[in-house]
Amino acid sequence: MDVVPLQSVFAVDSSLAFIFFIAFSLMTVLGVRFALYAYWNLGATDLDSQAVLWEYLLFVGLAAALYGLLGVVESVTAVTPSMTVVETPYRDGVFLAFLLMLALTMREIYDNDALTNAGIDSGGAFEQRRTIEMSFAVIVTGSVFGTGIFGTHIVLTAVEGVAALVFASYGLVYGQRQLSRSSVQGTMIDSLLRHLLPVVAFGLLVLAIDLTILFGLNVGIVRHIQVVFVIMTATTLMTATIKLRQNVAGL
């Protein structure tokens, strides 16, 4: 069983296609901007412990930009009669990668602070973490290639929705744990985390809303709700970008 692809909805609802075009354009532009500031922070930092953090955030921006670009291409070609529709079913897999990189960012911040304050050997914990995160990466890879080969199948839609819930929960748990530590309150990391948490929350809803299709909710209604979550994800990403810019200015 296939889930109704996005371009099929665009074909019968040009106004929705236009709103999605705006949402995808925002994700593209803001993703590129976020990646640039993360890259500049990476180049400006003298702390090896922060290098991985800025690399994760660089990939967050790149994944957001790629997701938006794929959406722009699909929305434009779907409503232009003279153009062949370019289907990008693997776009949701790219967004899943975006969520994963955000979650890894929060775990990286948490672990770095824990090591700094505790000063203990965390070799076993590090291996456990890497095993979990490699499993997450396998899911993302399977999503991208699976949808690229088989299209928007109901099984893949279910996997992506559940994986989004798992990834977001993983990141939100460690993000909240980190914010509860008195050592980070009022710091740049504290402010950055507070701006990234809403990105994860709205990003989760972009994919989780597709699970309602599996229970019979009309796909047109789902897409009208989903586009709001895409716009909110882009908006919260913009506010997080401001924190990256301020950090670069302060270095």
The CATH number assigned to the domain holding 55 equals 1.20.1070
Higher-confidence residue of 247 and 30: namely 30
d(CA 102, CA 202): 12
For residue 214, what are the domain limits? 6-250
Confidence check: pLDDT of 137 > 60: yes
Question: DSSP secondary structure string, 169-194?
Answer: HHHHHHHHHHHT-TTTTTSHHHHHHH
d(CA 60, CA 7): 25
Please state the domain count of the chain.
Answer: 1
Range scoring the smallest mean pLDDT among 46-55, 134-143, 147-156, 214-223: 46-55
Q: Is the pTM of this model over 0.85?
A: yes
Give the largest CA-CA distance in the chain. 63
Q: Is residue 142 part of a domain?
A: yes
Higher-confidence residue of 53 and 101: namely 101
Q: Is residue 85 part of a domain?
A: yes
Q: Is residue 1 part of a domain?
A: no
Higher-confidence residue of 3 and 130: namely 130
Whole-number Cα distances in Å, 197 to 66, 178, 190: 21, 12, 11
Tell me if 9 sits within 8 A of 16, measured CB to CB.
yes
Q: Give the pLDDT of residue 185.
A: 63
* pLDDT (mean) for 46-68: 89
Q: Give the pLDDT of residue 62.
A: 97
CB atoms within 10 A of CB 138: 10
Q: Is residue 110 part of a domain?
A: yes
Q: Give the pLDDT of residue 111.
A: 82
Radius of gyration for the chain, computed over Cα atoms and rounded to the nearest angstrom:
19
